[in-house]
Amino acid sequence: MMPTDPLVLEAQLCFSLYSGERTVGAAYRELLAPLGLTYPQYLVMLVLWEDDGQPVSALGRRLGLDSGTLSPLLKRLEAAGRITRRRSDGDERVVRVHLTDDGAALRADAVSIPGHLASRMPLTAAETGELRRLLGKMCGHDA
Amino acid sequence: MMPTDPLVLEAQLCFSLYSGERTVGAAYRELLAPLGLTYPQYLVMLVLWEDDGQPVSALGRRLGLDSGTLSPLLKRLEAAGRITRRRSDGDERVVRVHLTDDGAALRADAVSIPGHLASRMPLTAAETGELRRLLGKMCGHDA
DNA sequence: ACCGATTAGGTTGCGCGCAATTAAGTTGTA
DNA sequence: TACAACTTAATTGCGCGCAACCTAATCGGT
């Protein structure tokens, strides 16, 4: 019984993750193209649909992204007419991100996406749940 | 019993994957910095350590990357002295990627990386295996 | 031998991610 | 009230990923 070489590509979790993320990303890209959203932009919109008017910092905390990523992304969403950015009244440092009517309406077109994606993935609902659980545990989301 | 809103960020597999990939990526970045390699460059080196002198197309097939990603990445590895690129003798279209002595020697510094990473991740070996299995199945790597 | 189709790789353009820096606003403390 | 420490975003620079396009080399059929 030979021990598996630890440096074989497929033996490394990193490659499964790397590869899996890009596979799912490609599927989302396809579904999101009609909405005129990229995959990260969709994630930002999800957070805004949950709770409109959040500061940039809150979006960053929720998604694990910093201003270096969010600032230009939000600028593009603003240019596309999906959001507006306004300095907060109380604290001029914070920029609050608000949905436009167009941005809020986009939610209706997005509700079907998780279902479409689940149906095209060769995993059962139980497997998907287990996958989410393991990924969450991996990131230290204690549960 | 309310049904969970399908658009809640955390209910979506995509976000677990997105987030997990970046978490693991950050861990690799830290371990790879002393070697002067980025995470994708490390994946390319893994493939070359397994089998030196492969054409660019073979690297792309193995990693799921196209020339738009690989060409500049390989150029940077070449500039760093880790690889060389030579047109194939038989077919002038194919470019074969070869490790330099430096690139080959780097393998010795890399063998400890998978172990270090596994030890800092809050998953058991069994969980990691299950995670890899699910990710593989998700990507259609029939097994 | 010729010519269209195919294949391999490179280039361009754009949108992330992330580190590092900067600028502006706010808070705490003397 | 002055002033240093802190907080919030924006900016810069670089390296991916990927789509779209381009060029050069090879192959296939006639």
User: B54 has which bridge partners?
Assistant: B97
* Range B38-110: architecture per CATH: Orthogonal Bundle (1.10)
The pairing of beta strand B83-87 with beta strand B95-99: antiparallel
pTM of the model: 0.93
Q: Is the pLDDT of residue B38 over 70?
A: yes
Q: Which of A13, A43, A128 sits opposite B9 (nearest CB)?
A: A43
Q: Which of A19, A24, A130 sits opposite B14 (nearest CB)?
A: A24
**Over the range A8-30, which residues count as b (16 or more CB within 10 Å of their CB) and which as e?**
ebeebbbbbbbbbbbbbbebbee
pLDDT at A140: 82
Q: What is the pLDDT of residues B2-21, one digit of tens each?
A: 556 777 877 778 999 999 99
Q: DSSP of A13-44, one letter per residue?
A: HHHHHHHHHHHHHHHHHHHHGGGT--HHHHHH
State, as a whole number of angstroms, the distance between the CA of B115 and the C1' of D7.
Answer: 38
Q: What is the pLDDT of residues A23-48, one digit of tens each?
A: 999 999 999 999 999 999 999 999 99
> Average pLDDT for residues B106-124, to the nearest whole number?
94
pLDDT at A143: 47
Which whole-number Å values give the CA distances from A67 to A47, A73, B132, in the listed order?
16, 9, 32
Residue A7 or A136, more confident: A136
Distance CA(B92)–CA(B37), nearest Å, equals 29
pLDDT at B142: 58
In the three-class reduction of DSSP (H, G, I as helix; E, B as strand; rest coil), residue B54 is classed as strand
Q: Is the pLDDT of residue A3 over 70?
A: no
3-state helix, strand, coil in chain A (%, to 5): 65, 10, 30
In the three-class reduction of DSSP (H, G, I as helix; E, B as strand; rest coil), residue A98 is classed as strand
pLDDT at A6: 74
Residues of B in contact with A114 (CB under 8 A): 6-7, 11-12
pLDDT at B74: 98
Average pLDDT, chain A: 93
Q: Is B84 left (phi over 0), alpha (psi -120 to 50) or beta?
A: beta
* Percent of residues, chain A, with pLDDT higher than 70: 96
The pairing of beta strand A95-99 with beta strand A83-87: antiparallel
Please state which of the ranges A3-7, A94-98, A111-115, B137-141 shows the lowest mean pLDDT. Answer: A3-7
pLDDT at A50: 96
Q: What is the pLDDT of residues B47-104, one digit of tens each?
A: 999 999 999 999 999 999 999 999 999 999 999 999 999 999 999 999 999 999 999 9
pLDDT at B20: 96
Of residues 52 to 91 in chain A, which lie within 7 A of strand D by their beta carbon?
Answer: 55-57, 60, 66-68, 70-72, 74-75, 85, 91
As ranges, strand D nucleotides with an atom below 7 A of a protein CB are 7-13, 15-20, 24-27
What is the residue extent of each domain of chain A?
38-110
